[in-house]
Amino acid sequence: DIQMTQSPSTLSASVGDTVTITCRASQSINIWLAWYQQKPGKSPKLLIYKASVLENGVPSRFSGSGSGTEFTLTISSLQPDDFATYYCQQYTRYWTFGQGTKVEMK
Amino acid sequence: QVQLVESGGGVVQPGRSLRLSCAASGFIFSNAPMNWVRQAPGKGLEWVAVISFDGSHQYYADSVKGRFIISRDNSKSTVHLHLNSLRAEDTAVYYCARKHFDDYFDLWGQGTLVTVSS
């Protein structure tokens, strides 16, 4: 099984900050990685697929990069609506999610 | 409106069964492979099962293999998850999710809560 490890687990930030979340795969997954945002009591929302492609309607302050085993999600100029939990997901062999990164208000 | 709506959750005793349903609308359901993903209280996301667009193939996470069955009825644009031999650790919100052609999940339902407790 492919394991996905996110860091940090929690991130404290302020509006306007740039934040970066890292996701590491236990083996190479090429670029077959997606990022999701989840708010309390809500279902996950697709942000990015193929490691760096922004889903339609997602603000351009979100960006993704990486390939192989190391990936990052960057949120530039954090907005109040961005405080949420973020998950990476590999989809090269079945599907595995990272454990999540909660972005909370400092 | 493109959406997925789950139903069928509830409180069930260990060892018993439950059937979850997910009704799709706003897209051509019979073209879309469908998944179930669950999230235990306060925990992360866990993929559970997938079914091909025509129902001919199903795959399961090891944690549910042999106990859960995924099925679909394309005439009713509905996918089901049959949960058998339920355990306390199956307690979770269960989401259905549409698989995009490129294999990520591009549409999610709102989820239905299953609580396994005596």
In this predicted model, what pLDDT tens digit does every residue of B40-92 receive, in sequence order? 999 999 999 999 999 999 999 999 999 999 999 999 999 999 999 999 999 99
CB-closest option in B47, B106, B108 to A95: B47
Q: Which residues in chain B have their CB less than 8 angstroms from residue A99's CB? A: 44
Q: Which residues in chain B have their CB less than 8 angstroms from residue A2's CB? A: none
> What count of Cα atoms within 13 Å lies in the side-chain half-sphere of residue A26?
9
Could you list the beta-strand ranges (E) of A1-106.
4-7, 10-13, 19-25, 33-38, 45-49, 53-54, 62-67, 70-75, 85-90, 96-97, 101-105
- Stretch (H or E) spanning B12: strand B10-12
For residue B116, the model assigns a pLDDT of 98
For residue B35, the model assigns a pLDDT of 98
In this predicted model, what pLDDT tens digit does every residue of B6-37 receive, in sequence order? 999 999 999 999 999 999 999 999 999 999 99
CB-closest option in A34, A43, A95 to B111: A43
Q: Which two tokens stand for residue A70?
A: 């190391």
For residue B4, the model assigns a pLDDT of 98
- Bridge partners of B92, per DSSP, are B114
Counting beta carbons within 10 angstroms of the beta carbon of residue A52, is it exposed (0 to 12), middle (13 to 18) or buried (19 or more)? middle
Q: What percent of chain A has pLDDT over 90?
A: 99
Residue B42 CA to residue B70 CA, distance in Å, equals: 25
